[in-house]
Amino acid sequence: MMKKRGSVPNPLFQCAELIFPWLHPTELASISSTCKTLSRISKSITAGRSSDSSRALENLPIPFVNTVDDQPYEYFVYTPTQTLGLDQPRFRQHWGSVRPVCSSDLPGTFPTCASATVEDACGCDCQRCDGDLGCPCSFLNSVELTRECGPSCNCELECGNRLTQGGVSLRLKIVKDRRKGWGLHADQLIRYGQFVCEYAGELLTTEETRRRQRIYDELKSGGRFCSALLVVREHLPSGKACLRMNIDATRIGNVARYINHSCDGGNLSTILVRSSGALLPRLCFFASRDIQHDEELTFSYGDARLSSKGSQCFCGTSGCFGILPSEHT
C-alpha cells in the first residue's frame, strides 16, 4: 500500500523551522516567496519577532506595535547589558521561536546567567544578605543609587542591592510614530523612582566611535537612518578630566535604543550605576515622575547644539529647540 503524499514530513521544511529564526528579514522575505509552506513558517517567525523584541532575554516580552505602516518589527541583535564591540558586521542571533537563552550566548558579553560563578574579590559577605537593609554593600550607596553589588560579590540576583541587574521587569512596548519612528512606551503605570532599563550596547573605543559616526552621518545624509550611538561623559571632582564611555546600540543593543529625546528633559532620569568589582559603570534609566500607561518614555540627549547635520526634533514640548542635540564625538 502506497503512503499518501505529504504523510512523511519533508526534511526541507523541518530544517526550515530550525534555520529561519537565524535569518535576516530580507533573507526571510526572499525565501518565503518560494512556496506556501515556507511562507507559513516565515509568517510564524515574523509574528514571534513582533511579539517580543528581546528574544526572551528579558523577564517580560516587549512587543512592537505599529498602526502606521506595514513594518512588523525592526531588526537588531539584542543584548540585555553591555557587550564588547564586535567585528562581525552581520552577527546572527536566534530570533523567532522559543529557545532557552542567556546573555553569554552573545560573544563579548559579561556572564549574567544564574549559573555564572565568580570568586569573591572584594571581601563582601553578601551571601548573608536578607533584604534591602541587610546587604553589607549597602553602605556604598548615597542618596542617589550609584553603587550595587557586582560580579565580585557572593550574593544572588535577589539581593536588595542589585536593583538594576535583573533586567527589564516592567511592561513596555515599542510603538511606531509617523514622524518619530519607533519609540519606547510604558505598558503599565510606572511609579516615580522605579528602575526601567539600562542603556545596553557595544562598548567602543573613541577611535572606533568616531569611525562609526562618520559612517552613520553618511547614511543619514543618504536617506532615513537613525543611529543609537551614545557618548557618556562623567566629570571627575577635579573638573579637569572625565570618564568617557561610548555605547553603540545601533547594531547590538536593547530596548533603550528606542527611547526618544525630549527637550524638556523627559520623564526618565539617567544615573551611572557602579557594581563592585566591575571596571565600568552602567547607564541606567529611572522614572523621574509617575508615568502613565501608554505614555512614551523620553529623556534629554544633552544640551542643544545647532548643527547642519542635526536631525529635526519632533518631541512636541513647548520648549522644543526644533533640532536634536548633536556634538563632535
Residues 75-111: tens digit of each pLDDT: 999 999 999 876 555 578 999 875 544 444 555 554 4
Residues 264-319: tens digit of each pLDDT: 999 999 999 988 878 889 999 999 999 999 999 999 988 755 555 567 888 989 88
The average confidence (pLDDT) of the chain is 80
- Of the pLDDT bands very low, low, confident and very high (cuts 50, 70, 90), residue 161 is confident
Question: 182-186, 197-201, 236-240: which has the minimum mean pLDDT?
Answer: 236-240
Q: Which of 193, 167, 326, 319 is nearest to 255 (CA)?
A: 167
Residues 54-69: tens digit of each pLDDT: 999 999 999 999 999 9
Q: Say what the pLDDT of residue 84 is.
A: 86
Residue pair 96/21 in contact (Cβ under 8 Å)? The answer is yes
Burial class for 271, CB neighbours closer than 10 Å (0-12, 13-18, 19+): middle
Q: Say what the pLDDT of residue 122 is.
A: 40
Residue pair 172/186 in contact (Cβ under 8 Å)? The answer is yes
First-to-last alpha carbon distance for the chain, in angstroms, is: 73
Question: Cα(185)–Cα(108) distance, rounded to whole angstroms?
Answer: 29
